[in-house]
Structure 1
């Protein structure tokens, strides 16, 4: 029955049906053909509703809205200017600027696709003009945008925290060091490639120029600090922080930078609502499928199979990583997250692995899936934004993918890289 539901799910995906509807239909078929006592049809809508019945999920549309406002309010251009002033003198200057800009954008939108679209539309054409290979230009943007869901505010982290009943702030903090490691490696790769291909550097900005561009960009640069600082201080909750950032973003876009007009707000709210609806519908759609897995004890069987490999937490984490890297080849991160987290949580609990460490490993693993085919969401997005052949982006992104996997191994082996900062600050 579960095998049939799984085959139906992947079959529907292959014919082009949306992931959420595919999960719902596959679960309904499984419920109908379930061996033993019949399933009351009301379980389908009940499980759909129960999966999104959490006050913490209010933060999802709010953070999405804040990101949309900031992206449409002139933030991207100012962050690019600030990054250029700070690292534009380094070898392969525009590629370095791309990585740093995406690192900062990650602390604003929390969405890899939004960051790739916003920065790629500006920087990929610029890199092409300066002689960068088109595939490499798109790959740099794709790798940098992958930082979006790892740094706070991160939509995948919020979803995981809700499903596993974890502290959102602790999980946010757990992504900071891995994101900085990824960023440092990406910048080193950019420097090596620039040296080999003779990509030039720009003139070093003067301290006066840096001070000027920092003054104009400071409102955007403060946003991640306001989110973490506000929640950490205890003055506001996660939800209140998300609402506050929306107001902050509106004030900046409308009155400080002035790039956002009142007439634009309708489109901004529409885009944010559509994005948030897709995320929450996906989480709701996983409800019936997760219930079916639970009732069929499939999650228990998978957990026991993985635990049967070894009782060493490090070995088990390695097995989980290999499994999730394979999953990332066929599923996008959010569907994979909502489908596999309920299965993996018993493994973490039984072995006594720190839940924050385990969550960070799972999330970063699934985010890496956006960088490689056949799904490779960021490969497709940057290819479309930069009008570059997909295969050339997929080839050029391989060094960044290799470093991402190396960081995954590091954080799996040394938990302090993920739990050190949360434990220090909290």
Structure 2
């Protein structure tokens, strides 16, 4: 087992892609497994089984819905809507970025997709208005963090499958924490805007607000349909993702008429590439996580934690400290698939609600996306805006502090995650 982790970490340090590093490390772990013989056919077999879950269809469909939105003008209308309604004070464009990300989060479920879509639209605009470009990137990265927390959420689909719990409950568990994050980020933008005397937004009359809102109403209805479908049980999880795709197509092609039929092949190809990356990570992590489970790490971890404490709150905090360290190295999905088989039994053994546990894990690992020095969202916005990476890292610190505060609140007060799941 030490060979498995050592080879994995060495490959990461050498710059190997995470998916390939897990496959090679799993191959070495199987090849040199000493306690019993394992046929190497286990490697491709477990990789196939790792993506053989019907629930994962949602991942591809939500990514496709997000691609259609970006190409069909829906994203631009959401940004315009946030622009006319969100604060007019100094630093208001930072608040617009966060607000637009919240509305995008109700559709795509992908932090990277949200950061890319909002970043391409907002960073040039904020630069032209005199905002420091590093701050602009940090505000957009922080807002994009909310994407996989507010439903729908790709990481929560994966967790629900691994924990054998309800996808609908997982989706609803992230709504209040996501809104808490958004409120805090907007407050930070307002405070920084006043302190640094950023330019204020122009005054917008009510006629303009109503016109922009009327133009955006079809775009705004999609997250409402998704939330109502989940909360009221009107559709299954997979049906909701299918409805999101069909609705985005109809609105983009028929209502807004900003998407042409000839553009669909490119959209499908782009969504296919994005889906392939995620599904390959899930497939690559399957043999790796099987070896972790085979080594009985979960039993050893339960025994070790029982020695330290049997208080569920203390244990949950210890697990979160561990996951925050993991998030410095690994992206959320590989981290979940590698370590959850060992951590889930610990939570269950201490009576921690699996939905609460999952919400905490997802928030924790999403924080890793904005944690220097390896935060993926920081690299995304730095690349989009051609911003020095370390400058973005400095500007992200206030947003990172609030993210950790929300994580602690959800740990201490489980009702923040569980209140909206009652009755589902």
Deviates more, 1:36-45 or 1:399-408: 36-45
| Residues 118-151 of structure 1, C-alpha deviations (whole Å, 9 max, x = no match) | 1111111111122211110110000001111101
Deviates more, 1:383-392 or 1:80-89: 80-89
Is residue 169–residue 228 contact of structure 1 (8 Å, CA) maintained in 2? Answer: no
Is residue 13–residue 22 contact of structure 1 (8 Å, CA) maintained in 2? Answer: yes
Is residue 173–residue 418 contact of structure 2 (8 Å, CA) maintained in 1? Answer: yes
Q: Hey, what's the Cα distance between the residues in 1 that align with 2:415 and 2:196?
A: 37
Q: Does 1:108 align with 2:107?
A: yes
Q: Hey, what's the Cα distance between the residues in 2 that align with 1:200 and 1:403?
A: 24
CA RMSD across the alignment = 1.3
Q: Which residue of 2 aligns with 1:202?
A: 201
Secondary structure in 1 matching 2:202:
coil
TM-score (norm 2): 0.97
Is residue 332–residue 375 contact of structure 1 (8 Å, CA) maintained in 2? Answer: no
Q: Hey, what's the Cα distance between the residues in 1 that align with 2:306 and 2:124?
A: 49
In structure 2, the CA distance between the partners of 1:366 and 1:307, relative to structure 1 (3 Å rule), is farther
Query: Structure 1: 5+ residue runs without aligned partners?
Result: none
Deviation for aligned residue 1:11: 1.4
| Residues 181-227 of structure 1, C-alpha deviations (whole Å, 9 max, x = no match) | 10111111111101111112223323332221111111111111211
Q: Hey, what's the Cα distance between the residues in 1 that align with 2:43 and 2:50?
A: 11
Is residue 88–residue 203 contact of structure 1 (8 Å, CA) maintained in 2? Answer: no
Q: Which residue of 1 aligns with 2:264?
A: 265
Q: What is the correspondence of 1:250-261 to structure 2 with a 5 Å cutoff? A: 250-261=249-260
Deviation for aligned residue 1:16: 2.3
Q: Hey, what's the Cα distance between the residues in 2 that align with 1:308 and 1:50?
A: 35
Deviation for aligned residue 1:14: 2.0
Deviation for aligned residue 1:247: 0.8
Q: Hey, what's the Cα distance between the residues in 2 that align with 1:316 and 1:421?
A: 25
Deviates more, 1:356-365 or 1:123-132: 123-132
Q: Hey, what's the Cα distance between the residues in 2 that align with 1:172 and 1:419?
A: 11
Q: Hey, what's the Cα distance between the residues in 1 that align with 2:295 and 2:80?
A: 55
Q: Does 1:59 align with 2:58?
A: yes
Is residue 116–residue 141 contact of structure 1 (8 Å, CA) maintained in 2? Answer: yes
Is residue 88–residue 204 contact of structure 1 (8 Å, CA) maintained in 2? Answer: no
Deviation for aligned residue 1:332: 1.2
Query: Structure 2: 5+ residue runs without aligned partners?
Result: none
Q: Hey, what's the Cα distance between the residues in 2 that align with 1:186 and 1:234?
A: 31
After superposing on structure 2, the runs of 4+ consecutive aligned residues of structure 1 that deviate more than 6 Å are none
| Residues 10-32 of structure 1, C-alpha deviations (whole Å, 9 max, x = no match) | 11122222211211111111111
Q: Hey, what's the Cα distance between the residues in 2 that align with 1:384 and 1:79?
A: 23
Q: What is the correspondence of 1:208-357 to structure 2 with a 5 Å cutoff? A: 208-357=207-356
Is residue 7–residue 25 contact of structure 2 (8 Å, CA) maintained in 1? Answer: yes
Aligned pair count? Answer: 424
Deviation for aligned residue 1:284: 1.3
Q: Hey, what's the Cα distance between the residues in 1 that align with 2:337 and 2:71?
A: 30
